[in-house]
Homo-oligomer: A and B are copies of this chain.
Amino acid sequence: MTEDTQSGRRAAPASPATLDDVARRAGVSPATASRALGDHPHVAVATRARVREAAEALDYVASPEATRLAGGPTGRVAVLVPHPARWFFGELIEGLEAALRAADLDLVLFRVGGPEERAAFFDRLPARRKVDAVVVLAFAVAEDEHDRLASLGVDIVVAGGRAASYPSVGVDDHGAGRQAMDHLIHLGHRRIGMIAVENTGRLAPDPDGRTSAWRAALGDAGIAPADELLVTVPWGGEGGADGMARLLGLRTPPTAVFAHDDETALGAVRTLRRAGLRVPEDLSVIGVDDHPLAALADLTTVAQPVREQGRRAGELVAAGLRGELRERVPPAELLPTRLVLRRTTSPPGAPR
């Protein structure tokens, strides 16, 4: 901390160039400089160029604080994520980050995982006065939370799911579920179990999409959905393992299982392996997501473009901030999902 070496002046950070510096260097007033840099109309091209040059030369970066204080946007968007460490959310974040970066927006992360964290966020609203928009990652916003969010007075977009009152981009969970179920049914399965995950903290905007698909697909195939075949577990591999164990404990276990997601499915597979059952010969398993490790486990699944969902959401935010899509009805974009055949599904009671 005592290295004010070179020429006595500290490194750049001590006093970054200000707009005034740029203006002076370009030989214009700060007002004009501001307009030039901000791409405002009514600035001569030559002037604009000169200012740009000066800014460049001085390595100028506007102080976001001052900009904001004076009425401009903050250039920041809050991202509310339940579980940053889970693959699904991580992908969403990556996509989002790419889009936001392209739009020159900063991503401020807020975790809203457990109930307390979540309550704390909506209560204290730490993002208040700090961002231009907020992106909600795959969780349903409750009525009261909706109000709190509204009090931020900024645009809101949902990624990784649908939401009634906000623009959103996600996949058709019910449709994805149908793809999985139809595959199983086409293979000839009649007794199909479902491992759903608990909706703690009201995760997933469309919590029942996949489960309802299970029910609907069965119904359409003329099979009465037996309630005992639907088990609900905590999210994760362990949950999936437990769920599978419960299913195996039934008088007549299913011949195939549709797991809410790949990690749950992987857990189910472990239980089967440990029980000495072969997959898919003895029991088929299918998940949703196309998690990278699902490929390693040769898990058949319904893939969804997660990163893409994040990216689109980011673009939506950027567009909104640019003033576009302002008056339009909240668009709900649905990206396509597709069945990925691997080796955990096969006709019942038959190898291959």
Contact = CB atoms under 8 A, between A and B. Distances in A.
B84 A87 contact: no
| Interface size band for A | 35 or more
A13 B267 CA distance: 46
Interface in A107-121: 107-111
B61 A69 contact: no
Contacts of A263: 292-293
B153 A14 contact: yes
A295 interface: yes
Interface stretch (A22-30, A38-46, A126-134, A213-221): A126-134
Q: In the assembly, how many copies of this chain are there?
A: 2
Given A84-B90, A87-B85, A298-B270, A237 B107 contact: no
Given A84-B94, A97-B109, A237-B295, 8 more contacts: A12-B153, A14-B153, A65-B65, A65-B129, A101-B110, A107-B110, A270-B296, A270-B297
Interface of A: 1, 10-14, 16, 61, 63-66, 68-69, 74, 76, 79, 83-87, 89-91, 93-94, 97-98, 101, 104, 106-111, 125-126, 128-130, 150-154, 236-238, 241, 263, 266-267, 269-270, 292-293, 295-298, 307, 326-327
